[in-house]
Structure 1
Amino acid sequence: MQTTPHNEARRGDYAETVLLAGDPQRSEWIAATFLDGVRCVNRVRGALGYTGRFRGVPISVQTTGIGAPSMAIYAHELLDTYRARTLIRVGTCGGLADHVKLRSLVISQSSSNDGAVNGQLFGFYNYAPSADFGLLQRAAQRAIELGLDHHIGQTASSDVFYHPDVLGRFAGVRAHGALAVDMETSLLYTVAARFRAKALSICTVVDSLVTEEQTETSERQELFTDMVRLALEVAVPAEPATPRR
């Protein structure tokens, strides 16, 4: 019997820290490339889930699919049913600012959205979904130490992928400094806050809405190496070297 309608994993199959990838092929690649002792814990709907170890620490990877509703379902079930405590998105985004170049990383400090969730959950309040500060701080420090091309700041999440006004619809958030847009980060931060859990979104810029440049689909797995490496460094910091006496 499945534990949830969307997941066949048993309680205890997921680690407390879970990396979230939209694409099942990316989840499979992350597990095979970065984790030791990997086992597949979910195949329902093709939303592959894996658990293994990184630096000896249990880490899971879960596919979330595309869009806010799908992200909300998997994040909710991981936190509620499987008792995960830290969720880190490793996804893709589109650049909204001139200086945000293809293949760079965007670490989301907060994320606006164009969906209806705020009205349904918060009434007349405009809730501000934000990253966990500890995870954000650690990501910022490690990105600098690793020499990664990255940006940290506010982002936007949209429920519409194909829109006739590709860039103009983001005029408001762009004027207020939004770096990039994806479809999931805002809901991830909202669901995590509901469960008093930690969440962070790290995305690779695969296209620019400003210049209309795009990366090739064939190169994207290779592009994700820095992003996943940073996410794992945040999830499982290396032990500091013991000073010699």
Structure 2
Amino acid sequence: MPRDSEDPNTDVQYHLEVGPGDVADTVLLPGNPERLEKIVAHWDDHDVVASHREYRTATGSYEGTPISVTSTGIGSPSAAIAVEELARVGVDTFLRVGSCGALSADVAVGDLVITTGGVRQEGTSDEYVREDYPAVADHEVVAALVAAAERLGYDYHAGITASTDSFYAGQGRPGFEGFEAAGSAQLLEELQAANVTNVEMEASAILTLANVYGLRAGAVCTVYANRETGEFATEGESRAAETATLATHLLAKMDEVKREAGADRWHAGLGLE
């Protein structure tokens, strides 16, 4: 018989140290805590509401739309904790904002990749559902991210994202002193053959948990590395943050349009204006 959580505090979450009312309905999820300041720079106002371990949380507004951000640290285990605890205090929409490696020479460093679905190469989501359960981005979130990138004039690509548990062996890179994991030499070629667009470390777990709990999620990442050409540059970092911020505002407009139309889901026929 499963036991209740050993944490006696039912209001403030154990890892994130946020409680009801601390965060907006939509939360952006960068990995790096230092990215928080770069994200809120695009907002009209904000307050830091919690900072504990790798988790830093701020809440503010953009064009009148409430918005929050919580850093998750690196990898799916800590990202899943963030989703779990944010959902417990009322969050219903999650937008991963990060960096990634592109798998095609046609995707330039500095471009954006908007995730439509994920390859669950991480192990965290396996703790929740069977391995053939899909990691799918919510279509409203994808539409809002695409619309935001279009309005901002940023080059973007929409496609399948592979999420791994290792930056080195799990992404086909050599380990310490040139160590090569079994199968790593073929890994990128197999993903490329399957038309996977990019690789990172959190998206598929976030998407899987959101679907399991009936919530919305998506991801937008700036390309730092092109694994086909070997190019690497930490440029265009703010583009993903700005795109996700505008997408949050557009999602709020979508929700308003749905309410006015009496529709359960937003679709292109409803428009945004």
Q: Assess same fold via TM > 0.5.
A: yes
CA contact (8 A) 2:113 2:222 kept: yes
CA contact (8 A) 1:75 1:188 kept: yes
Give the structure 2 partner of residue 66 of structure 1.
74
1:56-205 equivalences under 5 Å are 56-79=64-87, 81-117=88-124, 119-123=126-130, 125-163=131-169, 164=174, 168-205=186-223
Partner letter of residue 173 of structure 1? Answer: L
TM normalised by structure 2 equals: 0.79
1:66-95 per-position Cα deviation (integer Å, ceiling 9, x unaligned): 00101111011111x211011111100011
Give the structure 2 partner of residue 233 of structure 1.
246
Partner letter of residue 146 of structure 1? Answer: L
Q: Structure 1: which 5+ residue stretches go unaligned?
A: none
Give the structure 1 partner of residue 267 of structure 2.
none
1:155, 1:108 → 2: CA distance?
6
SS at match of 2:18: coil
Change (3 A) 1:196 1:95: same
CA contact (8 A) 2:15 2:53 kept: yes
CA contact (8 A) 1:139 1:231 kept: yes
1:54-76 per-position Cα deviation (integer Å, ceiling 9, x unaligned): 11121001000000101111011
Q: Structure 2: which 5+ residue stretches go unaligned?
A: 1-8, 175-179, 254-270
SS at match of 1:122: coil
TM normalised by structure 1 equals: 0.88
2:241, 2:89 → 1: CA distance?
22
Paired residues, number: 234
CA contact (8 A) 2:120 2:163 kept: yes
Shifted more, 135-144 versus 91-100: the winner is 135-144
Deviation for aligned residue 1:121: 3.1
Give the structure 1 partner of residue 53 of structure 2.
45
Deviation for aligned residue 1:141: 2.9
1:143, 1:193 → 2: CA distance?
24
Give the structure 2 partner of residue 211 of structure 1.
229
CA contact (8 A) 1:157 1:185 kept: yes
2:14, 2:198 → 1: CA distance?
33
The structure whose Rg is larger is 2
SS at match of 1:41: strand
